[in-house]
Structure 1
């Protein structure tokens, strides 16, 4: 943590992300009426009646951004957890055992990589239905393959080192070697890749909601942008405010990911 907060990117990323998290946590207290309540006149400009104005139905845009932060963080974190677990298991097994297992697993991984990720997520949500669970599942299914290949390469590198051979000579089981010896040595790579996956998952969710494939009962940033695009010339704030929220959140996570990469890989420090 000292290395992370000592870098400019780490300080900026952590500060922005902390603001987003605090906004998401405080949303029920700041806006108890909820994001769908019509609280004022439609198309009210920012700072006239409400801080960020209102949309075409008189809903508070600031409330929508606060509640949308909760959904974005939930989707980003949960989807990334599934991606990391699945990618680590698949990549770890393929890299450790090699041979036919590696070949079979890599063919499956390559199949998923040939499908454009966002298009695949659209197809899955369109088939299963636009619910939050299905959105998280779709993001996880289309995003685990790159992490699996990365973990596989790291496991192959660690497996060929002397301490792993010594553990094999001592008769340690494969599971114990993978958990005790190999996993700690590839954990930094998984953490950095996982932190960046959070930003990617948030972008995926925003894109799906923008296209009308998000849960209609939940207020999200992508839904707000999609709903306001028809009035972008007369009510620019309806699109700009949630767009800036997406931009700052993704920027914060990427900056924090860069700082984590520098902290966990000292060889990259200049």
Structure 2
């Protein structure tokens, strides 16, 4: 891609205040996740104070019921929540992309079979299915990612299929078929680049959703007990009596605010990305 094109994309991004705001928040969260050991004042697993200490100069967000620093928990929890969200979103997009491309390109019985599978996944109640799967496979970091991935691929698959149905009738694809180009080469060189912009926007949406799903499962006690994500912090807060004291102010509100901020950041960034990749969404400048 030439420099002129990148410059055009950069101008579109910088002219979108919501996009810049969302991207800025995401960058902050990513930096916090990367440099968590340097930023966190304490080890989140160590008891460094008295239980239920209110916020003070030593503990900016107080301590939990066993004397662990809540601020340090949140900082390390950023790493876990982001990692689960990104990995789960990537896996679900890969599955959805593969099924969507195969269904859209080949059509016929293959398309009907795969779309009935997509319909089945979409029609099953989302939260009960996730709870059932999470309870069945057991709580762990990778099991949570597996559960989210297996329940989140259907929507991207349907979106990708719709785009492939349009792309496979385009002139350059028909020309490639007419000269006997291998199907794998057509899919990789002609179809996949055409759906890539949609995949980017779907990835942003899937990552945001995956972070919320992880928080929900962890809040219900189905998260990994050996890693502290924002959802796990909320689970322990409600399970250990934070609502019975004024500790909810510094133990429950902060992770809730962080979850909200991260989801909003993904939403704003996704909107800006769609505006860049879809010229019809651009405002007159």
Q: Where on the TM-score scale, by shorter chain, does this alignment land: which range?
A: over 0.9
4+ residue runs over 6 A deviation: none
Aligned twin of 1:256? 269
Deviations 1:226-263 (A, max 9, x none): 22233235112100011111111111111111110111
Q: Alpha carbon RMSD of aligned pairs, Å?
A: 1.3
- Asked whether the 8 Å contact 2:42–2:69 carries over to 1, the reply is no
In structure 1, runs of 5+ residues without a counterpart are none
Q: Say which is worse superposed, 3-12 or 252-261, in terms of deviation.
A: 3-12
The 2-side partners of 1:116 and 1:46 are apart by 41
Aligned twin of 1:7? 16
The 1-side partners of 2:255 and 2:56 are apart by 16
The 2-side partners of 1:185 and 1:168 are apart by 16
The 1-side partners of 2:61 and 2:33 are apart by 16
- Asked whether the 8 Å contact 1:125–1:134 carries over to 2, the reply is yes
1:50 counterpart (46, 49, 59): 59
1:231 paired to 2:242: yes
Deviations 1:144-185 (A, max 9, x none): 001101100000011111221111111111111111111111
TM-score scaled by length of structure 1: 0.96
TM-score scaled by length of structure 2: 0.91
In structure 2, runs of 5+ residues without a counterpart are 1-8
What pairs up with 1:27-66 in 2 under 5 angstroms?
27-31=36-40, 33-66=42-75
Partner secondary structure for residue 241 of structure 1: helix
Aligned twin of 1:215? 224
- Asked whether the 8 Å contact 1:117–1:143 carries over to 2, the reply is no
What pairs up with 1:88-237 in 2 under 5 angstroms?
88-229=97-238, 230-232=241-243, 233-235=245-247, 236-237=249-250
Equivalences, count: 270
The 1-side partners of 2:127 and 2:140 are apart by 16
